[in-house]
Amino acid sequence: MLLVDILNFLNSEINSSNYSEFCRALEYLNHKYYIDAEQVISDYDYDVLFKKIEKFEEEHPEIDSSESPTKLVAKGARSSFETVAHSVPMLSLSNSYNAEDLIDFDDSIKKELGDVDYEYYVEPKFDGSSIALLYENNNLVRAATRGDGTKGEDITANARMVKHILQVGDFKKLGYDTVELRGEVVINKSKFEKMNEAREEQGLVTFQNTRNTASGSLRIKDIAEVKNRNLEAFIYNIGFVKPEMGSGDLEKSQSFNIEQLSKLGFQSAQGLGKTCKTIEEVIAFCNEWEEKRAHYEYDIDGMVVKLNSIQQQLSLGATSHHPKWAIAYKFKAIEKPTKLFNIEYQVGRTGIVTPVAKVEPVSVGGVTVRSVSLHNEDNILSKDIRIGDIVFIERAGDVIPQITRVDINERKNVVDFEYIKTCPSCASELIRRDGEAAWRCVNTTTCPAQNLEKIIYFASKDAMNINGLGKDIIKRFIEEGIIKDIPSIYQLNYEEILKLDGWKEKSIENLRQGIEASKSNEMHRLLIALGIDGVGNTMAKSLAKKVSYLLDFKEYTIDQWVAIDDVGPKMAQSLFDFFHKEENLKLLYKLESLGVNLKGAEINTTGILYGKQIVFTGFRNPELEKKIEALGGEVGNTLSKKTSILIMKEKGSGSSKEKKALDYGVEVMTVEEFEREYSSIS
Ligand SMILES: [Zn+2]
């Protein structure tokens, strides 16, 4: 999936025909974030996308959203690591943002404790990934991620590769058989920079920030690679101990515990934190760290203020969300002013024109920012951004910088902002459709910018996956007149390419092989590569099951399109239009004549299951699925009104799926019943 596609989702309305594509986009972002430790869009944009899908699901109970990424709430707990329950929940902290909040917190402590002396322990809040380490008889037996606070993932093997996570901690000496420690896995900032330099040299994608990289790295399956990621841990708390608190040494105070942990060899806030007698002292210490955090060797996003006495902590207890004896003090996001000297416009594959602010280079939280996406016209107008303004650029935990506001006091001689009226590439008039935030160039046939993006998309990994034909090469080939449109990929003049700088026999042979191999791709890849609105991987696979020859879609009526899984009326119209447009058919015939595969699996149109969609729930049965397809049936992904038969392991369990199937009038069968009914199957 390309970034521009994700941005399209942010700009477009969700409906029943593109719903599954929205889900796929969110799944893709989750995978990138949690598995590859890569943040593709800002947290803000992620939330926008998430909420769009969630809202749509609430408003459309008829849609089966049981497997929607919005339902997998345990953010961290979705890779294939085993889930483990925390014996004592890992609560989050309530937040404070200024001195007043801290004074309020102090007032509540005073009220709860009554007329007794108390003090605070204040320490930096590391911005990484939380972990719980369980030690039994001095040995590390389990490490888990925070997950949703009650359940996390068992990442013991990976944790053993993390610096300062000790395999053995001498807690027996302190009188404990079992100790659970809580800490944060982080990456040193300068090591992080070096890691990225090395990745750049190797041509790998660079990591975006330390926090995401730490959390992603704890979840990769390759232990040796975990070791390469420069992870280290700071321990900040004791989750629980056995025998119970009060029976050993770790019961006095947070400051004492931090010191003990440090003596055992753990890395902690020892030397970083401070015991404060008054809230004024706490505030001053927080301010001190806020000043120096930009130069500190680890990313920290605030401070943690805890009652120092463990006895007092226990007497205050916790709500279901957060302990009453602690609070996080959050630093302000780093925000830097700079001059916006121009707004440029980028034209995407589907003609969407995205405004981009060009700013005087400014370093924000260690990253030099030169251009910032302005998303769309409404965003520019609502913030009243104009060329020539001094704007504030913010990078919170986010990777993609944002313009947050304009410094109106600095405004001089600026003209009102006006969105461009014509395409920067082909000069045709732009339009803005009802309900969309984006302006588009609708010249789909001859707009050079769209043409370039279309070719890039066609060859990309998710589409035709043509090895050796990346973005930069396509750009150059177009400039040199070697490629002009999609079919010309299959008519390359290799002798001309050999004349270009940097091309040798070997690289040309690799390119030729990549292009040749793409000719025999499965049909659904070509369906994706055509770039029809709403046709991503899942949709393309559903469509490919319908015909044994791609151009059979020419004959499809709207009703036939609507009958396909996940295809709603709007999508049906768009597919119908696509296969009735002269230029699209021409393109397909041309590609076919150049040897590109347009054929899918043979479909048995006389089989007894022809026209029927069968959905499995709770299990898969590849052998049976093959037989179903051999009999002309189609195996669907999700239960819907279009389903003919739902196959379950057990009937009558009263599950929501079964109930829904009956509501839809879908026949429900067990495997045995199904095989008996269609006896020719077994
Ligand atoms: Zn254009």
Distance 64 CA to ligand 1 centre (A): 39
Classify domain 613-681 at the CATH class level.
Answer: alpha beta
Span 648-663, average pLDDT:
84
Name the least confident of 73-82, 363-372, 622-631, 656-665: 73-82
**Superfamily of 1-72 according to CATH:** Helix hairpin bin (1.10.287.610)
Say how far apart CA 3 and CA 9 lie, in whole Å.
10
- The CATH number given to 92-330 is 3.30.470.30
pLDDT in tens, 517-552: 999 999 999 999 999 888 888 789 889 988 999 999
Q: CB within 8 A of 602, min separation 6: which ones?
A: 548
Classify domain 523-593 at the CATH class level.
Answer: mainly alpha
* Residue 5 CB coordination number (10 Å): 19
Q: Is the pLDDT of residue 649 over 60?
A: yes
Say how far apart CA 449 and CA 346 lie, in whole Å.
8
At 319 the pLDDT is 83
Q: In a 3-state reduction of DSSP, which class is residue 208?
A: coil
Distance 424 CA to ligand 1 centre (A): 7
Q: Is the pLDDT of residue 30 over 80?
A: no
Instruction: Name the band, by pLDDT with cuts 50, 70 and 90, for residue 77.
Output: very low
Instruction: Name the band, by pLDDT with cuts 50, 70 and 90, for residue 245.
Output: low
- Residue with tokens 């330390």, as numbered in its chain: 210
Q: Is the pLDDT of residue 12 over 80?
A: no
Q: Is the pLDDT of residue 35 over 70?
A: no
Is the model more confident about 426 or about 571? 426
* Strand 613-616, strand 634-636: pairing: parallel
pLDDT in tens, 283-328: 999 999 998 887 899 999 899 999 999 989 988 988 878 899 999 9
Q: Is the pLDDT of residue 74 over 50?
A: no
Distance 447 CA to ligand 1 centre (A): 4
Taking 3-state DSSP, the helix, strand and coil percentages for the chain, each rounded to the nearest 5, stand at 40, 20, 40
Q: In a 3-state reduction of DSSP, which class is residue 189?
A: helix
Name the least confident of 28-42, 193-207, 324-338: 28-42
Give the number of C-alpha atoms closer than 13 A to the C-alpha of residue 428, restricted to the C-beta side.
Answer: 18
Q: What's the pTM?
A: 0.55
Distance 186 CA to ligand 1 centre (A): 46
At 398 the pLDDT is 46
Distance 550 CA to ligand 1 centre (A): 29
- The CATH number given to 444-519 is 1.10.150.20
Q: Is the pLDDT of residue 577 over 50?
A: yes
At 635 the pLDDT is 87
pLDDT in tens, 580-610: 999 999 999 999 999 999 999 888 888 889 8
Q: In a 3-state reduction of DSSP, which class is residue 456?
A: helix
Distance 427 CA to ligand 1 centre (A): 6
Q: Is the pLDDT of residue 211 over 90?
A: no
Domain boundaries, the chain: 1-72, 92-330, 333-443, 444-519, 523-593, 613-681
CA 219, 224, 225, 231 torsion: positive or negative?
positive
Distance 455 CA to ligand 1 centre (A): 15
Residues with catalytic function: 125
Mean per-residue pLDDT of the chain: 87
Q: CB within 8 A of 109, min separation 6: which ones?
A: 118, 307, 316, 325
Is the model more confident about 167 or about 223? 167
Name the least confident of 101-115, 386-400, 600-614: 386-400
What percentage of residues in the chain have a pLDDT greater than 70? Answer: 93
Distance 425 CA to ligand 1 centre (A): 5
At 569 the pLDDT is 87
CATH architecture of the domain with range 333-443: Beta Barrel (2.40)
Distance 442 CA to ligand 1 centre (A): 7
pLDDT in tens, 188-207: 999 998 888 888 777 676 77
Is the model more confident about 505 or about 212? 505
Is the model more confident about 655 or about 119? 119
Distance 345 CA to ligand 1 centre (A): 11
Q: Is the pLDDT of residue 78 over 60?
A: no
Say how far apart CA 473 and CA 162 lie, in whole Å.
40
Q: Is the pLDDT of residue 180 over 60?
A: yes
Residue 666 burial by CB count (10 A; 0-12/13-18/19+): exposed, middle or buried? buried
Distance 377 CA to ligand 1 centre (A): 17
Q: In a 3-state reduction of DSSP, which class is residue 680?
A: helix
At 638 the pLDDT is 80
Say how far apart CA 650 and CA 636 lie, in whole Å.
19
What percentage of residues in the chain have a pLDDT greater than 90? Answer: 49
Q: Count of residues for the chain?
A: 682
Asked if the domains at 444-519 and 523-593 fall in one CATH topology, the answer is: yes
Name the least confident of 6-10, 592-596, 632-636: 6-10
